[in-house]
């Protein structure tokens, strides 16, 4: 007899009053009750702890774990095969395991019975190896993400080798991408020089290494050879073939040969040098291009144009929304899509492959707005505005953040520091300068921010250099420049801070000096061909580029500053300046960034 139904539901064919259905769907509900699943796991864990209904012991070393076959078989394909197949362990009451540590197995058992696992830097390696043995994908995935979060220049090579040797594809790919992204930092660590020849050459061959200069690749190759020179001498030519030597200046190579301490290596380098000079191409390729991800494009952004047509006509005055890009390999200028807003003396910096332009002046308005350019899609996007409108301020990138410091704020000078987090698209005030200032130079180097020169309320021309630690908020005074200046250009090249041109007591300068981060001293370098105030300055591929700027035009009747289009390049290996193709239009007070 069929059970009676207490709910009398109307058939589709029956007539009657149309009522709004109480149920939204006729489909049955199959929703999972997660509370019940959690309760079940908790109860199973308690049964194991109390050793109730356990039907097999797992022995590892001197430790025995009482467990349930069904739980292990349901959690791990390894144990499923052991307890359901034709293996001898199928009917054993005690199964002995090898190749896994008792503490690691305890963590894996906890996961099987609860779904919870505690991963740290001390157990992650053993966990991922054991989880791979037991084929527990969930633990492997959690360990993989843990190691990806731990990637750093000091361990990236080791994590890559670990992932490669244990065939953990996602971790291997992430490690390779990290190494390519931060290769200039990775090659400063000893890890990479322990690599075997094949693995090292694979990295040298990559198109996706984000390097500043091919000379970095040459230095890494030579350092790898010297690391075990007695065994690696036969590999010299194979390794150097992967370095794009024609992109490196002959002066740099000559210096490397002269400074090489090993006679046999020096002979090999001379052979390579001769092969290039004579255009034979027997030992190294001659027709090479920069790597796809090597920094080679200089973007000149914003600024102004002021030209003098005659003694009676000041000529054209305008602020720039347009952007020009200089390819240091083809040595050609091209136009880039315009910004959304004209900006005079904006802050410009690169972060995570994007170009950020912040603040500046439009007409008589000081701006807080910011926009971001994507070189891949060639599009501009508006991002969060700064907390404080600024122009003639310092902007630089460090450790994944942008830092904006000082500048003109309305009719006053700012002493505040704010930081931009691209992950949250937010600015926040994080500190203060030792005293308010504007028109200074700002760069980042190895975890610190360096501020040089500029103007303050009490001093029109400043010559001090200070470092700022964002972690502690502390400022430290360093040796001062020899010439006080403002409106200068600054850039970091080969462990030096270069300070270029600028203004000193209404005099526009051609002088250049540089500060050694390693030696903590300043030195003069040969002056530029042109005096320049407000030039755009960038360092790329081992050279210093100085672009545009203002010059003084004096007549018996008046004195005016006019913009120039001239571009020149400094070679630090032979201390000489050379002329480069000029801008399509004169420009000054622009920002420059390298991508």
At 346-405, the pLDDT tens digits run 999 999 889 999 999 988 899 999 999 999 899 999 999 999 999 999 999 999 999 999
* pLDDT at residue 6, rounded to an integer: 41
The answer to whether 107 touches 100, Cβ cutoff 8 Å, is no
Which of 206-210, 353-357, 555-559 shows the lowest per-residue confidence on average (mean pLDDT)? 555-559
Phi, psi of 224 (to 5 degrees): -65, -45
* pLDDT above 90: percentage of residues in the chain: 71
Residue 363: the pLDDT is 81
DSSP line for 439-480: S-EEEEETTEEEEE--EESS-SS---EEEEETTTTEEEEEPP
d(CA 538, CA 521): 21
Alpha-carbon gap, residue 306 to 560, rounded angstroms: 10
Binned at pLDDT 50, 70 and 90, residue 319 comes out as low
Comparing 495 with 403, the larger pLDDT belongs to 403
- With 90 as the cut, is the pLDDT of residue 410 above it? no
Residue 515 DSSP code: E
Neighbours of 464 (CB within 10 A): 19
Token representation of residue 543 = 């050279």
Q: Of 428, 435, 491, 424, which Cα lies nearest the Cα of 458?
A: 435
Contact 79, 134 (CB under 8 A): yes
pLDDT of 244: 93
* Interval 58-79 mean pLDDT: 93
Q: What is the mean pLDDT of the chain?
A: 89
Inform me whether the pLDDT recorded for 5 exceeds 60: no
Q: What are φ and ψ of residue 535, in 5° steps?
A: -80, 160
DSSP string, 155-180: THHHHHHHHHHTT-HHHHHHHHHHHH
Higher pLDDT, 44 or 101: 101
Q: Reduced to 3 DSSP states, what percent helix, strand and coil does the chain have, rounded to the nearest 5?
A: 30, 30, 40
Residue 322 confidence class, pLDDT cut points 50, 70, 90: confident
Could you tell me the CA-to-CA distances from 321 to 27, 246, 306, 332 in Å, in that order? 60, 36, 15, 20
H/E stretch holding 268 reads helix 263-277
202: CB partners within 8 A, 6+ apart: none
What pLDDT sits at residue 149? 95
Q: Residue 23 above 60 pLDDT?
A: no
- Phi-psi bin for 331: left (phi > 0), alpha (psi -120 to 50), beta? left
Nearest-Å Rg of the Cα atoms of the chain is: 33
Query: Which tokens go with 354?
Result: 């994007």
Q: Could you tell me which residue, 354 or 318, shows the higher pLDDT?
A: 354
Q: Among candidates 540, 522, 408, which has minimal Cα distance to 465?
A: 522
Between the alpha carbon of residue 426 and those of residues 402, 406, 423, 568, the distances in Å are: 10, 18, 8, 37
Q: Where are the alpha helices (DSSP H) in 77-136?
A: 77-84, 102-114, 124-134
pLDDT (0 to 100) of residue 88: 76
Flag whether pLDDT at 310 surpasses 60: no
Higher pLDDT, 155 or 91: 155
**pLDDT tier at 317, thresholds 50, 70, 90:** low
Structure tokens at 108: 């894996």
| Residue-range domains of the chain with CATH | 37-150 (3.30.710.10), 206-277 (no CATH), 297-594 (2.120.10.80)
Closest CA to 175 of 155, 191, 192: 155
**Alpha carbon distances (Å) from 313 to 25, 270, 319, 541:** 81, 59, 18, 41
Q: Residue 557 has what pLDDT?
A: 61
| Measured CA distances, 253 to 256, 571, 573 (Å) | 5, 13, 9
Give the pLDDT confidence of 430-441 residue by residue, as tens digits: 999 999 999 999
Output the six-digit token pair for 68: 């349930």
Angle, CA 226 vertex, CA 223 and CA 232 arms, to 5°: 115
The mean pLDDT value for 63-92 works out to: 90
pLDDT tops 60 at residue 8:
no
């Amino acid at each position: 007899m069929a059970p009676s139904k207490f709910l009398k539901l109307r058939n589709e064919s029956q007539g009657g009053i149309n009522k709004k259905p109480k149920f939204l769907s006729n489909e049955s509900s199959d929703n999972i009750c997660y509370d019940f699943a959690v309760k079940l796991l908790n109860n199973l864990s308690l049964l194991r702890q109390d050793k109730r209904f356990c039907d097999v012991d797992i022995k590892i070393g001197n430790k025995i774990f009482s467990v349930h076959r069904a739980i292990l078989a349901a959690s791990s394909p390894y144990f499923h095969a052991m307890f359901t197949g034709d293996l001898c362990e199928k009917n054993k009451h005690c199964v002995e395991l090898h190749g896994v540590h008792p503490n690691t197995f305890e963590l894996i058992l906890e996961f099987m019975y609860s779904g919870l696992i505690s991963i740290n830097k001390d157990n992650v390696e053993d966990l991922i190896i054991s989880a791979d043995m037991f084929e527990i994908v969930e633990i492997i995935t959690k360990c993989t993400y843990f190691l990806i979060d731990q990637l750093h220049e000091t361990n990236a090579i080791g994590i890559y080798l670990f992932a490669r040797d244990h065939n953990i594809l996602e971790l291997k790919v992430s490690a390779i991408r990290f190494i390519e992204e931060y290769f200039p930092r990775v090659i400063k660590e000893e890890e990479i020089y322990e690599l075997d020849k094949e693995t090292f050459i694979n990295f040298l061959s990559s198109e996706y290494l984000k390097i500043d200069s091919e000379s970095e690749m040459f230095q890494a190759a030579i350092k790898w050879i010297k690391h075990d020179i007695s065994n690696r001498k036969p590999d010299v030519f194979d390794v150097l073939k992967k370095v794009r030597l024609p992109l490196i200046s002959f002066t740099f190579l000559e210096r490397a040969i002269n400074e090489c301490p090993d006679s046999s290596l020096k002979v090999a380098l001379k052979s390579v040098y001769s092969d290039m000079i004579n255009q034979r191409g027997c030992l190294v390729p001659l027709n090479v291009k920069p790597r796809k991800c090597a920094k080679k494009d200089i973007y000149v952004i914003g600024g102004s144009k002021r030209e003098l047509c005659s003694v009676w006509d000041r000529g054209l005055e305008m602020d720039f929304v347009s952007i020009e890009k200089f390819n240091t390999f083809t040595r050609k200028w091209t136009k880039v899509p315009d910004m959304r807003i004209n900006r005079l003396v904006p802050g410009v910096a690169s972060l995570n492959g994007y170009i950020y332009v912040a603040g500046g002046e439009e007409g008589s308005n000081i701006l807080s707005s910011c926009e971001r350019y994507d070189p891949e899609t060639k599009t501009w996007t508006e991002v969060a505005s700064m907390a404080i409108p600024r122009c003639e301020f310092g902007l630089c990138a460090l450790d994944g953040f942008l830092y904006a410091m000082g500048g003109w704020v309305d009719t006053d000078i700012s002493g505040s520091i704010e930081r931009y987090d691209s992950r949250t698209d937010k600015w926040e005030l994080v500190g203060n300068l030792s005293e308010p200032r504007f028109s200074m130079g700002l760069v980042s180097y190895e975890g610190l921010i360096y501020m040089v020169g500029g103007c303050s309320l009490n001093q029109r021309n400043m010559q001090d250099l200070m470092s700022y630690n964002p972690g502690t908020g502390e400022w430290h005074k360093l040796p001062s420049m020899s010439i006080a200046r403002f409106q200068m250009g600054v850039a970091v090249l080969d462990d030096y801070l270069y300070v270029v041109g600028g203004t000193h007591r209404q005099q526009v300068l051609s002088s250049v000096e540089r500060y050694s981060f390693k030696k903590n001293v300043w030195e003069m370098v040969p002056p530029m061909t042109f005096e320049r105030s407000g030039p755009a300055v960038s360092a790329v591929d081992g050279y210093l580029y100085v672009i545009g700027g203002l010059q003084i035009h004096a007549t018996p009747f008046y004195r005016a500053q006019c913009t120039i289009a001239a571009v020149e390049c400094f070679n630090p290996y032979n201390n000489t300046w050379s002329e480069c193709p000029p801008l399509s239009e004169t420009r000054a007070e622009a920002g420059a960034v390298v991508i």
